Amino acid sequence: MVYFDSHCHLNDEAFASDLEETVAKAREAGLKAILVLGYDVISSRLAVEIASKYDICYAGVGIHPENYEGLSIDDIKQIEELSHNEKVIAIGEVGLDYHWKNDEETKANQKAFFIEQIKLANKLGLPLSIHARDASEDTFNILNEYRPTSGAVLHCYSGSVEMMERFAKLDLYFGFDGPLTYKNSIVPKECVKVINVDRLLVETDSPYLSPVPFRGKRNEPAYIPYIFNMMAELKGLTETELEEKLNANFSRLFHVKL
Ligand code: NI
């Protein structure tokens, strides 16, 4: 089996002491591509360094909606500079997050950073990895107005089935993670069943959101098969059938052959 992890954070300090082993373990598990996403300038730079060091690692660079404070729109130029590295295959993670703060000023700032980074992705011809939490409607409106011209994935999709069907009309992909394996996780399972398999991706978002049976422990790319197997079961496909579909989706969006 050949797998990928389309969204993780090997640049998180949780991997500082055993990055080498973590990548080796992922390789052993069959992963041929690991997309490491930045969430500010420093973590984006680190993502590029990791991607340069390990052949199976690739980088996404961007400023996460929770990290714009203390930055100006001008700082996106640093993201643009990092994006010129040949292992950078996406702009992300970027988007909107109204979970902790949702006053008008926060929303306006997050929207400005999001829009500017969509424009950057379009200018560079790169796909986007999008984080949207408690902000489905605004995310939809922005993507509807500023269409990503090189594709985009809504990573760790956590919205409703209805919202997903609206997003699907914008030609977006949907990434699913460890929560798909949780018993009480009804809506993500329903989403996976409903959406066309050509729109699906698997990701760990490690070090967060470990799948069963590792729930509560640090997550890592080598655990992708647990999420993949649950997705195969939900779609009623054999592992080989899903492997072929998902790998084609990953290659189509990120232009990386598996
Ligand atoms: Ni993430």
> Domain locations in the chain?
3-254
42 CA distance to ligand 1 middle (Å): 15
Residue 69: the pLDDT is 85
User: Which percentage of the chain shows pLDDT scores above 90?
Assistant: 96
41 CA distance to ligand 1 middle (Å): 15
- For residue 157, pLDDT over 90 is answered with yes
Compute the average pLDDT of residues 10-15: 98
- For residue 68, pLDDT over 90 is answered with no
Compute the average pLDDT of residues 98-115: 95
Mean of pLDDT over the chain: 97
Q: ∠139-143-145 over CA atoms, to 5°? A: 120
By the 8 A CB rule, do 201 and 153 touch? yes
107 CA distance to ligand 1 middle (Å): 19
93 CA distance to ligand 1 middle (Å): 6
214's enclosing H/E stretch is: none
Cα–Cα distance measured from residue 7 to residue 62, given in angstroms and rounded to the nearest whole number: 13
155 CA distance to ligand 1 middle (Å): 7
- For residue 132, pLDDT over 90 is answered with yes
65 CA distance to ligand 1 middle (Å): 11
111 CA distance to ligand 1 middle (Å): 18
Q: Tokens standing for 31?
A: 């992963």
Compute the average pLDDT of residues 136-152: 98
- For residue 210, pLDDT over 90 is answered with yes
36 CA distance to ligand 1 middle (Å): 9
3-state DSSP helix/strand/coil % of the chain, to nearest 5: 50, 15, 35
pTM, 2 dp: 0.97
Residue 70: the pLDDT is 86
Please report which confidence band the pLDDT of residue 116 belongs to, taking 50, 70 and 90 as the band edges: very high
Q: ∠162-132-27 over CA atoms, to 5°? A: 105
37 CA distance to ligand 1 middle (Å): 7
Residue 133: the pLDDT is 95
Compute the average pLDDT of residues 24-43: 97
98 CA distance to ligand 1 middle (Å): 15
Residue 223: the pLDDT is 98
9 CA distance to ligand 1 middle (Å): 7
Fold category of 3-254 in CATH? TIM Barrel (3.20.20)
- For residue 112, pLDDT over 90 is answered with yes
Cα–Cα distance measured from residue 99 to residue 113, given in angstroms and rounded to the nearest whole number: 17
- The pLDDT tens digits of the residues spanning 231-253 come to 999 999 999 999 999 999 999 99
Greatest C-alpha distance within the chain: 48
- The pLDDT tens digits of the residues spanning 85-94 come to 999 999 999 9
Residue 47: the pLDDT is 98
202 CA distance to ligand 1 middle (Å): 13
